[in-house]
């Protein structure tokens, strides 16, 4: 007599996605934390070139999910595409493990990572949306916890890979140190894949219709050809700043055009939700210009103008490697995420939940305060190096802003976008993020230090001038976010009303 398996809880299904996302981000941030300084210190690139190459790579990494979402929805299935992405990423980091300092090999390796992220990212997020679909209060909380998964993995890797680079480099040679650190990122992905294999049954009922069908050989061939072409195109783009600039700005125009087309061609009941998503996406673009400073200007600032020693009341606590300061972002998010989840659930239970637009405004205010913190620190600098504690509190404020803006960006798509567009719109959101990552690198180059400047007293005012300007831009974004609040409330109310009048079969027919 056949036995019926008990239903899988939302929490168990979510845990499976949470854990593979955690290991995927372990790999990505372990690589990112080193990449700009690898190009500066090992490959001999200047600050400006390194910032822009990484900005272009980040733009591509965030742009390809637009295709990955469609592949998950229409060709391979959401679960399968996420898994293919994780395998591809493991291979990309393994390529960086190979001890060669050839620039084109770096570009090809980054191209493989671009493809892997395109497969993985939108489909992992789309699975979370499907798990909690219809539960708006829990969607915000779920995506905040999901965002915390990013930072659990990245906290460990951003502390670990710089240490591995220095330890292996000291004992076995500088080149082997760099590449061994990159190899650890690949090992992290393999651990994540092993864990997913053990827990995959908890997602057997979640996914797109294609997940329930056998894989089409024709579809798989199309996807493989597209992936190989994307690797080649990515490598070509990365080796030319002019090509990268044209492609990124062109992508921005295309994604804005698609958004406008979808709003105009969609059903009347869907337009208010899509319009709200567009406004919040534009605000998100501004946020990620700030975000890109972490791996570019703030990273190089820590190399030159931050006291690496942590001292408290005259006692020495520890000394960090400059790249490890980037982990403060992840550490703060792990600390702050449960607090925000509690706040969201508390006010949600009372029917007084803050709107997403209100959270965006508060987020920009926190980001502005964070960047001003670095400027304040410069006034107490000793030998042109600011105290590491200013970095701690600056990153803390910045990270609060990140949770309020970026952490809810995915929840915004889940809340306002029709389910039939879910995968594609997750991808479109990441394209917008990619454009802003490149813009962030362009902004970081306002503080690019010429190779003839080695005195920290000369570099300190260059960095703090940029950070103070970013603080004022953050205040401007706060004012704009507050100004559009009435419009966002109207769009949200119209969207909620339209959902109440949508027949139930239409809501669930695509699932």
Q: What is the pLDDT of residues 224-254, one digit of tens each?
A: 999 999 999 999 999 988 898 888 888 778 7
Can you tell me whether residue 327 is helix, strand or coil? Answer: helix
Query: What is the reported pLDDT for 510?
Result: 32
**Distance between CA atoms of residues 409 and 414, nearest Å:** 9
Point out the least confidently predicted range of 134-138, 261-265, 360-364, 435-439: 134-138
**Distance between CA atoms of residues 25 and 415, nearest Å:** 24
- Average pLDDT over the chain, rounded to whole? 82
Residues 6+ apart with CB under 8 A from 33: 157, 158, 161, 162, 295, 299, 323, 324, 326, 327
With 0-12 CB in 10 A as exposed, 13-18 as middle and 19+ as buried, what is 28?
buried
Point out the least confidently predicted range of 55-69, 144-158, 453-467: 144-158
Strand partners, 311: 316
- Range with top average pLDDT, 196-205, 338-347, 451-460: 451-460
**Distance between CA atoms of residues 433 and 287, nearest Å:** 9
Fold of 10-307+321-508: Growth Hormone; Chain: A; (1.20.1250)
Instruction: Render pLDDT for 294-348 as a digit per residue (tens, 0 to 9).
Output: 999 999 999 999 999 998 888 899 999 999 999 998 899 888 878 887 887 787 7
Residues 6+ apart with CB under 8 A from 251: 59, 63, 431, 434, 435
Instruction: Render pLDDT for 348-360 as a digit per residue (tens, 0 to 9).
Output: 777 776 666 677 7
Closest CA to 157 of 246, 34, 281, 26: 26
**Distance between CA atoms of residues 306 and 378, nearest Å:** 10
Query: What is the reported pLDDT for 3?
Result: 45
Residue the block writes with tokens 């915390």: 148
Region 113-142: what's the mean pLDDT? 75
Query: What is the reported pLDDT for 450?
Result: 87
User: What's the pTM value of the predicted model, to 2 decimals?
Assistant: 0.81
Q: Which residues of 377-393 are buried (b: 16+ CB within 10 A; e: fewer)?
A: bbeebeebbbbbebbeb
Extents of the domains making up the chain: 10-307+321-508
Other Cβ atoms within 10 Å of 323 Cβ, number: 26
Point out the least confidently predicted range of 22-36, 66-80, 310-324: 66-80
- The distance from CA 34 to its chain's CA centroid, rounded to whole angstroms, is 16
The encoded tokens of residue 142 equal 């779920």
Query: What is the reported pLDDT for 134?
Result: 60
- The distance from CA 193 to its chain's CA centroid, rounded to whole angstroms, is 20
Can you tell me whether residue 9 is helix, strand or coil? Answer: coil
């Amino acid at each position: 007599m056949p036995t019926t398996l008990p239903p899988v809880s939302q929490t168990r299904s979510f845990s499976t996605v949470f854990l593979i996302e955690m290991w995927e981000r372990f790999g990505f941030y372990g690589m990112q934390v080193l990449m700009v300084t690898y190009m500066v210190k090992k490959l001999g690139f200047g600050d400006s070139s390194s910032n822009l190459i990484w900005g272009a790579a980040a733009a591509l990494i965030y742009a390809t999910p637009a295709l990955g979402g469609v592949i998950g929805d229409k060709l391979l299935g959401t679960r399968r595409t996420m898994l293919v992405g994780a395998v591809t990423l493991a291979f990309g980091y393994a390529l960086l493990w190979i001890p060669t300092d050839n620039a084109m090999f770096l570009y090809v390796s980054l191209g493989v990572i671009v493809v892997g992220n395109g497969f993985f990212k939108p489909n992992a997020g789309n699975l979370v949306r499907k798990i909690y679909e219809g539960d708006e209060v829990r969607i915000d909380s779920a995506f905040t916890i999901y965002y915390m998964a990013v930072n659990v993995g990245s906290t460990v890797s951003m502390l670990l890979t710089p240490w591995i680079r220095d330890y292996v480099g000291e004992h076995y040679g500088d080149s082997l140190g760099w590449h061994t650190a990159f190899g650890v990122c690949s090992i992290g992905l393999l651990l994540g894949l092993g864990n997913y294999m053990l827990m995959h049954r908890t997602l057997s009922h979640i996914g797109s219709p294609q997940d329930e069908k056998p894989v089409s050989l024709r579809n798989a061939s199309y996807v493989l050809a597209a992936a190989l072409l994307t690797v080649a195109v990515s490598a070509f783009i990365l080796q030319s700043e002019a090509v990268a600039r044209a492609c990124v700005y062109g992508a921005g125009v295309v994604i804005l055009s698609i958004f406008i087309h979808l709003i105009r061609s969609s059903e009347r009941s869907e337009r208010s939700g899509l319009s709200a998503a567009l406004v919040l996406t534009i605000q998100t673009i501004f946020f990620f210009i700030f975000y890109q400073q972490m791996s570019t200007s703030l990273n190089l600032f820590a190399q030159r103008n931050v006291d690496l020693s942590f001292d408290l009341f005259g006692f020495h606590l520890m000394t960090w490697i400059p790249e490890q300061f980037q982990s403060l972002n992840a550490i703060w998010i792990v600390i702050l995420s449960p607090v925000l989840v509690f706040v969201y659930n508390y006010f949600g239970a009372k029917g007084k939940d803050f709107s997403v637009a209100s959270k965006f405004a508060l987020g920009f205010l926190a980001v502005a305060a964070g960047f001003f913190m670095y400027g304040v620190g410069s006034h107490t600098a000793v030998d042109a190096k600011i105290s590491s504690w200013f970095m701690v509190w600056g990153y803390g404020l910045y990270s609060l802003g990140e949770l309020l803006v970026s952490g809810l960006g995915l929840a915004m798509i889940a809340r306002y976008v029709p389910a039939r567009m879910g995968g594609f719109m997750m991808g479109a959101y990441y394209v917008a993020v990619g454009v802003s990552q490149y813009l962030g690198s362009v902004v970081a180059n306002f503080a690019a230090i010429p190779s003839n400047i080695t005195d920290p007293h000369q570099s300190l005012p260059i960095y703090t001038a940029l950070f103070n300007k970013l603080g004022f831009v953050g205040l401007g974004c706060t004012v704009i976010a507050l100004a559009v609040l009435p419009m966002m409330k109207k769009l949200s109310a119209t969207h909620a009303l339209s959902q109440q009048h949508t027949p139930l079969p239409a809501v669930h027919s695509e699932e």
